[in-house]
């Protein structure tokens, strides 16, 4: 592609004081105004919503033509559509929806999208295991059952649900959805034992979250731009998989959740950072579930590439002759 533009509609962080960069456009306090009678003019800016979820709007451009899809939809029904409205994005231009996996913090905004209308026959690409019933059974704590996606409900709202284990090409071949990711590293073992899935007869450990998939765009003369939701397959597994599928070795950018937060994943931080450093990306924007320890490690190891994520931020990555 000539260019890919990624707008983070929902992330765990919103910082109105972040400044623009060469490839980065930020949203300050001016995003959205609401009534507030305690101020003299009766209004106050709201900024952007941050929540434990992820959603990104992806636009690819080639030969003067642009196409847009939605990658994940955040946690709550309202955050994604509210944030889009505050920065002037019309979600009616979306040509497809892709779910990185079935966890509720990536699918909650589907309700808000459907409420706004315009989803009739809108293709939605997901892995067939995205419907899996899951729970967190932490010893000594009450079991937490995770909200499960309903195919019947999505069909009823007008989405054209497309289940694919295999890779998919979308937007006139400009975007690759990886499908199920090969697990090839020695250190990315997935979710700890409390993360369980229902087989139909019993609850079993679900370490792999096999419905996890990523989005890949090849920017001409720059390399691959990889967008992850949670990165349950492992950031390095995902990049390796993208390289194998495309035949393109160069990683230009990695954006999205890397799921390196919390005690179960902290041992994975060092080998992940080491392997990612060897890829030599130009831009790394770890978001959502990456965790603060991994953020600091990545910022230290890749100071020229690491960028702080924030709800509402736009990242524009272009071919050398398209800037």
Using a cut of 0.75, tell me whether the model's pTM lies above it. Answer: yes
Residue 120: predicted pLDDT: 84
CA distance 47 to 65: 31
Which residues fall within 8 angstroms of residue 96, CB to CB, at 6 or more apart? Answer: 69, 70, 122, 123, 124, 125, 170, 171
- Select from 132, 116, 306 the least CA-distant residue to 212: 132
CA distances from 125 to 44, 128, 287 (A): 39, 9, 22
Strands (E) across 151-282 are located at 159-163, 168-170, 175-177, 195-198, 203-205, 215-219, 223-228, 251-257
The 10s digit of each residue's pLDDT in 143-201 is 999 999 999 999 999 999 999 999 999 999 999 999 999 999 999 999 999 999 999 99
The 10s digit of each residue's pLDDT in 196-252 is 999 999 999 999 999 999 999 999 999 999 999 999 999 999 999 999 999 999 999
The 10s digit of each residue's pLDDT in 265-287 is 999 999 999 999 999 999 999 99
The single-letter DSSP state of residue 237 is: H
Which residues fall within 8 angstroms of residue 54, CB to CB, at 6 or more apart? Answer: 8, 10, 11, 12, 72, 74, 100, 105, 106, 229, 230, 256, 257, 287, 288, 289
Please state, for a pLDDT cut of 70, what percent of the chain lies above it. Answer: 100
Residue 272: predicted pLDDT: 98
CA distance 69 to 57: 6
Residue 51: predicted pLDDT: 98
The 10s digit of each residue's pLDDT in 283-314 is 999 999 999 999 999 999 999 999 999 999 99
Residue 323: predicted pLDDT: 64
Residue 112: predicted pLDDT: 94
The 10s digit of each residue's pLDDT in 50-67 is 999 999 999 999 999 999
* Residue 320 pLDDT greater than 90, yes or no: no
Burial class (CB in 10 A: 0-12, 13-18, 19+), 199: exposed
CA distance 288 to 64: 32
């Amino acid at each position: 592609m000539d260019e890919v533009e990624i707008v983070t509609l929902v992330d765990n962080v919103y910082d109105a004081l972040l400044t623009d960069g060469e490839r980065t456009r930020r949203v300050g306090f001016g995003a959205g105004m609401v009534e507030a009678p305690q101020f003299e003019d009766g209004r106050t800016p709201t900024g952007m919503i941050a929540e434990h979820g992820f959603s990104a709007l992806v636009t690819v451009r080639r030969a003067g033509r642009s196409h847009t899809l939605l990658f994940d939809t955040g946690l709550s029904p309202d955050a994604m559509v509210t944030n889009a409205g505050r920065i002037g994005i019309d979600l009616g231009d979306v040509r497809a929806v892709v779910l990185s996996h079935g966890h509720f913090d990536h699918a909650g905004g589907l309700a808000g999208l459907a409420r706004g209308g315009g989803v009739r026959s809108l293709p939605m690409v997901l892995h067939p295991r995205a419907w899996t019933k899951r729970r967190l059974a932490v010893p000594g704590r009450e079991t937490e059952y995770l909200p499960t996606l309903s195919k019947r409900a999505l069909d009823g709202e007008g989405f054209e649900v497309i289940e694919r284990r295999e890779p998919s090409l979308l937007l006139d071949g400009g975007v690759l959805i990886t499908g199920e990711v090969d697990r090839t590293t020695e250190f990315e073992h997935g979710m700890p034992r409390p993360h369980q899935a229902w087989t139909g007869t019993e609850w079993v450990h679900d370490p792999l979250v096999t419905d996890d998939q990523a989005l890949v765009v090849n920017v001409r003369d720059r390399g691959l731009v990889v967008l992850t939701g949670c990165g349950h397959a492992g950031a390095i597994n995902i990049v390796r998989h993208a390289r194998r599928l495309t035949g393109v070795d160069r990683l230009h950018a990695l954006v999205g959740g890397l799921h390196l937060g919390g005690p179960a994943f902290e041992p994975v931080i060092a080998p992940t950072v080491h392997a990612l450093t060897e890829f030599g990306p130009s831009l790394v924007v770890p978001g959502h579930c990456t965790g603060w320890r991994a953020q600091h490690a990545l910022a230290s190891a890749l100071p020229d590439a690491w960028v702080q994520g924030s709800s509402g931020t736009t990242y524009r990555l272009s071919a050398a002759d398209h800037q």
